[in-house]
Copies of this chain bind each other. A is one copy, B any other.
């Protein structure tokens, strides 16, 4: 059997990627409680919000209030998304220490999500990354639609390599490869990782971000781990989707990821029962069952 990492960094995106796609807008104090509860489960990163234009993503319009309201646990990072220098400035005023920019591998999605071309978006991010690094902030780059796009079908991996290369050159310390619609195949995953490696971007610089629309998220995670990837994005309770690609369903559920990792003897530092309890609480607040089958089934089983 192939070698797997001994430790995996679970990068929780639920309060941002999950909530921004929920039809219900959660009250600010509940978002704060969610983030505080998540950071108490042992997660080292809890992506907390997004400083985009409030009219574009009303679900996260209270980013500043959320960042002021949370209790920052020692050793936990609370990154936020920033689309441009204005967003970065608003985030910095709230004492944010980690930010992320979000690019697309396809023109179709760049136009729909950012209202500009891939090239224009990279030009918009360059000063954000530069200024963030000059201020000693951590900077992550996201690349959406790395494998399949609802308008363009299968994505040419060379497009992804180009965008990843540009973000790395700008100074992003980590780049997260998004299967935004959740339909990536194993061969696409390993082919892209091999091409990136050939281009000088090894697994240490990368994270994987799978949605679970076609049920492939964990299998593709496993292939990524076998390739040397050690950071995996996930969303508590499997919240999320993509407002601009209606065929996309939720993110990989953090609980299902952690169950797999612990079940392979891989450490995460996460207290799984506490995480399940958090997602069950959140489902109650959102007024519907958790999207994660594990979270729904857990209370019916004997977990001594």
A200 at the interface (CB under 8 A from B): no
Determine whether the beta carbon of B300 is less than 8 Å from that of A150. yes
Residues of B within 8 A of A297 (CB): 182-183, 213-214, 247-249
Interface residues of A in 169-211 (CB under 8 A from B): 181-188, 190
CA A95 to CA B184, docked complex, whole Å: 43
Determine whether the beta carbon of A260 is less than 8 Å from that of B186. yes
CA A184 to CA B263, docked complex, whole Å: 8
Interface residues of A in 121-164 (CB under 8 A from B): 150-151, 153
Q: Which residue of B lies closest to A300 (CB)?
A: B247
CA A222 to CA B220, docked complex, whole Å: 9
Determine whether the beta carbon of A260 is less than 8 Å from that of B219. yes
Residues of B within 8 A of A151 (CB): 302
Q: How far is the CB of A242 from chain B (nearest CB, A)?
A: 11
A221 at the interface (CB under 8 A from B): yes
A93 at the interface (CB under 8 A from B): no
A47 at the interface (CB under 8 A from B): no
Which has the most chain B C-beta neighbours within 10 Å: A216, A221, A262, A293? A293
Interface residues of A in 271-304 (CB under 8 A from B): 292-294, 296-297, 300-302, 304
Binding site for B on A (CB under 8 A): 1-2, 150-151, 153, 181-188, 190, 212-219, 221-223, 226-227, 246-249, 253, 256, 259-260, 262-265, 292-294, 296-297, 300-302, 304
